[in-house]
Chain A
Amino acid sequence: QMQLVQSGAELKKTGSSVKVSCKASGYSFTYRYVHWVRQAPGQALEWMGWITPFNGNTNYAQKFQDRVSFTRDSSLSTAYMELSSLRSEDTGMYYCATPIDATDAFDIWGQGTMVTVSS
């Protein structure tokens, strides 16, 4: 079945960077966009942007544009999200997700990666 499996929890220092991976299986990796969604503890979901595995094109939410980078390794069917200049407000669960064709309704989600930022 279609599945996204993310890397494990991270504990980071303020000002550092974090890189989260998202490995796809059960479908053709290049066929579906990969989106990233963040959720601060007890808070709502926040869309960060997408990458198209086919050619690596990206689209970032303005809020994250200066600090985030999405990449992919198609040979590994894996997408990556790197967030730099971490601050305490970046603490939260980071999800990758992929949408139903011709929509941006996300039917497949990774299990989430908890990123904790502490000084």
Chain B
Amino acid sequence: EIVMTQSPATLSVSPGERATLSCRASQSVGSNLAWYQQKPGQAPRLLMYDASIRATGIPARFSGSGSGTEFTLTISILQSEDFAVYYCQQYNNWPRTFGQGTKVEIK
């Protein structure tokens, strides 16, 4: 099973600042990586797939990069609605696996 490790566990950022979230896979997943945003009491929302493609309706301030084992999600200018938990997920191997999440909180 591929283990997805996200860092940091918690990221404290001020509105208007940039946030950079990392996700590392225990073995190569190519570009078969997705990012999700989850707010309390809600289902996850797909942000990025194939590592760098924004899902429908996702604002341009979200961007994804990386391939192989190292991936990054960047939120260029944090808005109030961006404070949430973010998960990465690989879909290169079975079973599909998620990271443990990064909580982006208001500084």
Contact = CB atoms under 8 A, between A and B. Distances in A.
Interface of A: 35, 44-47, 49, 59, 61-63, 95, 97, 99-100, 103-107, 109-112
A31 B104 CA distance: 35
Contacts, number: 61
Given A45-B36, A111-B43, 16 more contacts: A44-B100, A45-B87, A45-B98, A46-B98, A47-B95, A47-B97, A63-B95, A97-B43, A103-B50, A104-B32, A104-B34, A105-B34, A105-B55, A105-B89, A107-B49, A109-B43
A44 B50 CA distance: 21
A61 B95 contact: yes
Majority SS of interface residues in chain B? loop
Nearest to B43: A109
A6 B26 CA distance: 33
Interface in B85-107: 87, 89, 91, 94-101
18 contacts: A44-B99, A45-B44, A45-B98, A95-B43, A95-B44, A97-B44, A103-B49, A103-B91, A104-B34, A104-B91, A104-B96, A105-B34, A105-B46, A105-B89, A106-B34, A107-B46, A107-B49, A107-B55
A95 B36 CA distance: 14
A44 B96 contact: no
Given A45-B87, A109-B44, A110-B43, A103 B99 contact: no
A57 B87 CA distance: 28
A14 B98 CA distance: 27
Contacts of A109: 43-45
Contacts of B56: 107
Contacts of B44: 45, 95, 97, 106, 109
Contacts of B94: 59
Q: Would you list the 4 A-B pairs with minimal beta carbon distance, nearest first?
A: A105-B49, A104-B91, A105-B34, A109-B43
Residue in A59, A97, A105 whose Cβ sees the most chain B Cβ within 10 Å: A105
